[in-house]
Structure 1
Amino acid sequence: MSTTRTRTRVEDVCPTSGLCPICVKECPVLCEVSLSAFRGREALYPDPNMFGNSTAGALKDYGLDWSHFNIQARLLGAFGIKEDSDLAIFPNVDVETSVGGVPLKIPVMIGAYGSTDVARQNWDGLAIGGALSGIIVTIGENVCGMDVETRIEKGKVVHSRELKRRVEAFRKFWDGQYGDVAVQTNVEDQRLGVDIYAISKLEVNIIERKWGQGAKAIGGEVRVGDLQKAILLKKRGYIVIPDPEDTEVQEAFKQGVFKTFERHSRVGMP
């Protein structure tokens, strides 16, 4: 069974279309294609009830994966250290590097974790682990905009409890030398002055400008199950679908015709 709770009539489906090799008119099985035809919303975002408590993986079969590779270490000699049996030991391995002038203990950067519930709920572990490891950890887009407690004056952010919490979670365990915490800003963040707030009030040293949507070609989507929050997000400049200020939409939401609004981020242009 797939993530959309559908099946195919046969197992060897066409990887391009998702159809069975022979799609029959009187098929007794509900596949994802037929589900999309009748109830498209349910196939667009699988299992919406788990939003905020799940993450998505890309189901791609290239016929090759990392388990097919073995890394064989050299058996003779040493590189980057003196050829001395008492010196060439594991604790003396040096894998330090730098990115943009920021020294890193290990060559790792944690990608942006933004305003989603998954990111918010798991931030402390990421931030503390990243700080202790001496790497760069990135706070993703829309954190200020999605924080209902954010104070906005004259269209600009002047305080965000959530962004402040995330920066401080990293800095509490940071040695001040290796790695750092970065703040990513998209179109809406820039319009709200998040980068200026992060630099001037939270003393953030790294701003990552977001062009495009990386792993998702569509805008960054978050589902909102509260009508008042959906209205607030629209007023803050976000695209909210359907329009939460439309009286007919409000009535449909109250009657349970649909349970969540979609908040989308715009795609940044260089």
Structure 2
Amino acid sequence: MTIRPFKPEEMGQARLLWEECFEDDPSFLDWYFHYRFYPQDGLGLFAGQQLLPDLHLSPRKIKIRRTLYPSAYLIALATKPTFRNQGLAKRLLTFSLRHLATNKIFFTFLMPFNIEFYTRLGWEVCYHHHLYTLPAGLKVNSLNNLRVYQSEPSYAFLAKIYHLWSERFDGALRRAENDWQCLLYDHFSDSGKIWLASNETSEPLGYALTLTPSKTEKQLLIRELAYTNPSLAKPLLAQLSAHHLGTALFWTAPAENNFCTFTPTAVRPVLLGRITDVRQALEALT
């Protein structure tokens, strides 16, 4: 058995394995494998020419101490069902750390399907979300010149707001154009909506990515809320509430969002992280 990056002609095997292990829409996979998943960013463990498990090492950039560093978001670890429980996924993950360190990528993170599986291999929780359940008819001191409306703006509008908002968080991910394309493709596939906040001169000041509440839940899910100034958070939430009368708001926010005075109803681990080579990472940080 050998572990190596994909060759272009092997991407068909990677897609078939993805389809076998996950339940994503075919149209999303068409887009993802054309624009997002490149052969050099994938690792596969092969028995001869047969792909057994694979992993996408999606290139990202992370901000630490005001400096951007290359990182890898580990996505879609998958093993053919008939080859599971043989330690192949563990072997592939271990190899991925050496492979990334060799390429001067020292920071990895992932969204776990099972936290214990990854913590046994050295990953630890590094990002939490605070979960807020806010009542219908939320009332706060509003801003007279803030206008919140449903929109489908260019990603550039959202990117400008996101950049200013994420500057407050150490360890924040920077989003490139294809990151936004992936996020918004996924969001609209879930029938999501975008709400834009602006002032009287139409300057974009904040946005909310929301999912329409089901008939039974009666909650508007806010998957991301970003704003150029912390003072805008509560007025933006209040106007979202006004647009959805009788509907509670369910908001997930970074735990580092400590300028919010609402009390979270729960804290949830979101991402795990691991350094591929501690010595080289510390040298890069100094």
TM-score exceeds 0.5:
no
Using structure 2 for the length normalisation, give the TM-score. Answer: 0.29
Greater length-normalized contact order (CA 8 Å, ≥ 6 residues apart): 2
Structure with greater strand share of residues: 2
User: Which is higher, the Rg of structure 1 or of structure 2?
Assistant: 1
Using structure 1 for the length normalisation, give the TM-score. Answer: 0.31
